[in-house]
Chains A and B, each alone.
Chain A
Amino acid sequence: MHADTASRLDADILEFMDACLQKEHPKSYLIAVLHKIQQRYGYLCQSHMDQVAQHMQIPTAIISGVSTFYHFFRLQPRGKYSISICLGTACFVKGADKVLDAFRTELGIELGETTPDGLFSLESSRCLGVCALAPVVTINDKVYSKVNAKQVPELINTVKTEERV
């Protein structure tokens, strides 16, 4: 499902690191580099972080500290479709907890888990700033607004149908 975890980082990411090394305060770009890697591969695997450590001459312990500190970074691969339920305040008062429960029941997985077929993973997010259209769910980059628990099976089916085409 995912690229071989031991794979070399893509050339453009190595070039990006090189460019950062030329700038003032090169180590301050660590978070930017990790963002790039996650965007490309979906998560941060140990081998990639080790390559960053070598390339940028930053101790592995520091990289590990940073990648585990920030919620945005994922250390496990995720499903092809990442379902993220906003649990910000506005979504919460508009019933996001029920939407989350519906996804849990429908997919049979808990937050942070991926379905056995590797298709869906379930995550929560902290406020996407679309509060006026709460509750909000994102599936990969697509934003769904005013979602209620009853729409959940349909939403999942739509994705599955698209997947089959």
Chain B
Amino acid sequence: MGPALSSYESLYRKFTQEFETSGQKGKIIVQVGSATCEKAAGSDLVRQEFAKLIQASGRKDILLKQTGCTGRCAREPIVGVFIPGQIPIKYESVTIHKVQEIFQQHVIGGKPIASLVLDKKTETLYSYVVTICSSNRCGHETARDTQALLKKCLAAHSVPIDAVRIFHSGCLGLCPKDKVGKQHVMMVLPERAIYRFESEQDLDEIVQSHFVNHRIDIKHQIHTDFITEQFFSLYGDVAFFNKQTRLTLRNSGLIDPESLQDYLLNKGYEALARVLVQNDPAAVRNEILRSGLRGRGGGGFPTGQKWINAVTYTDDPIRYVICNADEGDPGAFMDRSALEGDPFIILEGMTIGAFAIGAQMGYIYVRAEYPLAIERLEKAIATAHANGLLGKNILNSGFNFDIEIRLGAGAFVCGEETALIYSIEGKRGQPRIRPPYPTESGLWGHPTVINNVETWANVPTILLYSADWFSRIGTKKSRGTKVFALAGKVKNTGLVEVPMGTTLRDIIFDIGGGLQEGRTLKAVQTGGPSGGCIPAGLIDTPVDYDTLADIGSIMGSGGMIVLDDEDCMVATAKFFLEFTQNESCGKCVPCREGTLRMLEILERITEGKGEMADLEKLRRLGKLIQKTSLCGLGQTAPNPVLSALDNFQEEFLTHIRDKSCPAHKCAQLITYEIDIDKCTGCTLCARRCPVSCIAGAPRQPHVIDQSRCIKCGECFNVCKFDAVLRV
């Protein structure tokens, strides 16, 4: 298939030329985040404000761009100001009031505003950013020494220490194969120079050349196009990002998700072109198998094996690929963000997969709750069509493949593959017994490969950089990276992509910044309603498919909710069970009836009516449901309850025996009282009480009639003097 390469090359040339002639090069770029979360934080208004100011200024050298979500959700909207030759500056929590200031001082005046910078650590800005690769997964324990050494060298050459900021990054993957862990790698901004060195003398030479003579030290510079270079050169100076290894999310926050040009100029569609040129579907299947990629939707089934199965059992010529974007797990938003930030990578991954198994048609099954993701996908599909990257004769290779979007309609069970297939067929999404697996008999009875969004996003990367390269990241049984949606009681909520095997501690404390002041970690919930609660004591557990299963949770699709001492484990278990109970499709009895009975028991316990025997009943029922349910939803539904019982039995006992909820979450186990010393008699609580059970004359201490109190907490919420006590 020779024409594929020339078609890709001419497409690449076309976009490069367009880029060159569009005059984007050398321009000042103002980049505003644009994703559901960014918009919720007000990014649209910020973008409009910048547009107004740019227009009013009459400057033609300022370009306003949009990008997907960087994953730094808690600090949105995020605005990047990239002036050629200067360190890229990112501003956090930008409001329209700050736009004017940023525009005048920085964009026009060239002076960044230190106080508004994302995750600022100091009030001063610096001239250089040095990122030292400090992954210790390769056995390299000397990163901290490198920093000390660098500081020493800088001092020896009288480079002002304030001018250089030093950061540590996760593995950049830049060591030569035979010298893994023996060399040091660092990247210097704004020049984007990457240096590799072994000895102190090497470093001294680099410092002399780069920081003193302001010339790149060619002797130690390496030229590489490592995968996260673009991302790191923009975000390498933010602690939240530089501990991450961004493979699937590398373009999010970097490119305009609606621009094929941006995607193509960042290695987009190169993998597909190579695959089509090589024209060997079996080789693609084997490469994916060799990479060790496992399903990112939570099941962890080897992706390559799934693809091989789809061509092994039947010679049916009609085959399908499906992208499962039915991210129904509450507390997870990886897929939404990926689709909104880089839709083309999903299309490319699916096209490669379709070629590998000989499918002619692909479907993306996406939640109706994600309108922006749907809009971006639709645009991406149309653009890919217009450029010969989808449809008939893709890249002139003779390969035909098309993708259609199908909307979900709010049924969690449709994340299960057989249910999802029924839903695409326009039916009720109820799972069926497997086998036959969809790879044998799937959509309309034809062999079908279903992979999750994140799995598809990994495919082009593996084929670009090889299975060997991919399998060096992560742990032995879980290769590559995993994206987690970090939320709950953690400071830096957002999306985090880390190599498999990273510990929960690294994720929550190093990247997540730990908990809010004064709070202590109680548990980490992974895997959503199918997962479990990992107690704080197990925080040093490396996160991969197998270790999480060993400690009673699951990887799941990547939701990670941090719980602190104010969270009640019984109430949390009840919350998840309410969810699965509600989402149970009703087809099989253990799930439909069993979860309901478990929920009734939990409700009893949270209302103070629990009995000791309830704990044993919960365990027995839970195990029965796990063993006898038809599909994954039912089989995993008891997990949150069983893992809470295993790890936090004492808390259940307190609810049952002492009729008290230590976290003050369970309404029926709380009493509200008024502190007569603090009460000023303002009457506010008495007026707001829905059952009028608070009595007292104005300016006299009030009293709550406990026999009539419905424990709604309204008095506690409205009191301005903290006089209402919750005990």
Contact = CB atoms under 8 A, between A and B. Distances in A.
Interface of A: 25, 27-32, 34-35, 62, 65-66, 69-73, 87-90, 92-94, 98, 101, 105, 125-134, 136, 141, 143-145, 149-150
Interface stretch (B144-152, B195-203, B404-412): B404-412
Contacts of B406: 28, 31-32
B428 A129 contact: no
Given A70-B409, A71-B410, A131-B331, A27 B37 contact: no
Interface of B: 36-37, 39-41, 73-74, 76, 327-333, 336-337, 368-371, 406-412, 423-430, 444, 485-489, 493-494, 525, 528, 559, 561, 563, 567, 572, 575-576, 579, 585, 690, 712-714, 717
6 contacts: A25-B425, A32-B406, A131-B331, A131-B332, A133-B40, A133-B74
A156 B389 CA distance: 48
A101 B487 CA distance: 23
Contacts of B337: 129
Given A127-B331, A129-B36, A130-B333, A89 B409 contact: no
B37 A130 contact: yes
Given A73-B409, A128-B369, 9 more contacts: A27-B425, A30-B426, A94-B489, A98-B717, A105-B690, A127-B328, A132-B76, A143-B39, A149-B717
A89 B488 contact: yes
A88 B331 CA distance: 6
A66 B36 contact: no
Contact of B330 (A65, A98, A126): A126
Given A126-B328, A143-B39, A89 B426 contact: no
A129 B493 CA distance: 12
Interface-central residue, B39, B337, B371, B426, by most chain A CB under 10 Å: B426
B561 A90 contact: yes
A143 B487 contact: no
A146 to B, nearest CB: 9
Contacts of A126: 328, 330, 369, 410, 412, 579
Contacts of B426: 25, 27-31, 66
Contacts of A69: 411, 428-430, 585
B388 to A, nearest CB: 23
Given A101-B712, A127-B328, A149-B717, A70 B410 contact: yes
A43 B410 CA distance: 15
B36 A35 contact: no
Nearest to A128: B369
Given A69-B429, A132-B493, A32 B40 contact: no
Nearest to A87: B330
Nearest to A68: B428
A25 B421 CA distance: 13
Nearest to B71: A132
Interface-central residue, A62, A131, A141, by most chain B CB under 10 Å: A131
Contacts of B408: 70, 72
Contacts of A34: 409
Contact of B525 (A89, A105, A134, A149): A89
B37 A132 contact: yes
A139 to B, nearest CB: 12
A144 B444 CA distance: 41
B331 A143 contact: no
A71 to B, nearest CB: 4
A131 B572 CA distance: 16
Given A31-B406, A93-B563, A145-B41, A66 B332 contact: no
A127 B329 contact: yes
A127 B330 CA distance: 5
Contacts of A25: 425-426, 444
Interface-central residue, B37, B486, B489, B712, by most chain A CB under 10 Å: B37
A131 B485 contact: yes
A71 B493 contact: no
Interface-central residue, A29, A89, A90, by most chain B CB under 10 Å: A89
A129 B327 contact: yes
A138 to B, nearest CB: 9
Nearest to A89: B331
Contacts of B336: 129
B487 A132 contact: yes
A143 B40 contact: yes
A98 B713 CA distance: 9
B428 A66 contact: yes
Closest 6 CB pairs of A and B: A132-B73, A89-B331, A70-B409, A72-B410, A88-B330, A129-B333
Interface-central residue, A65, A66, A132, by most chain B CB under 10 Å: A132
A89 B559 contact: yes
Contact of B488 (A31, A93, A125, A145): A93
B527 to A, nearest CB: 11
Contacts of A89: 330-331, 487-488, 525, 528, 559, 561, 575-576
Given A34-B409, A105-B690, A143-B39, A129 B487 contact: no
A25 B410 CA distance: 22
Contacts of A93: 488-489, 561, 563, 567, 572
A132 B562 CA distance: 12
Nearest to A93: B488
A72 B332 contact: no
Contacts of A98: 713, 717
A34 B690 CA distance: 41
A47 to B, nearest CB: 20
Contacts of B424: 28
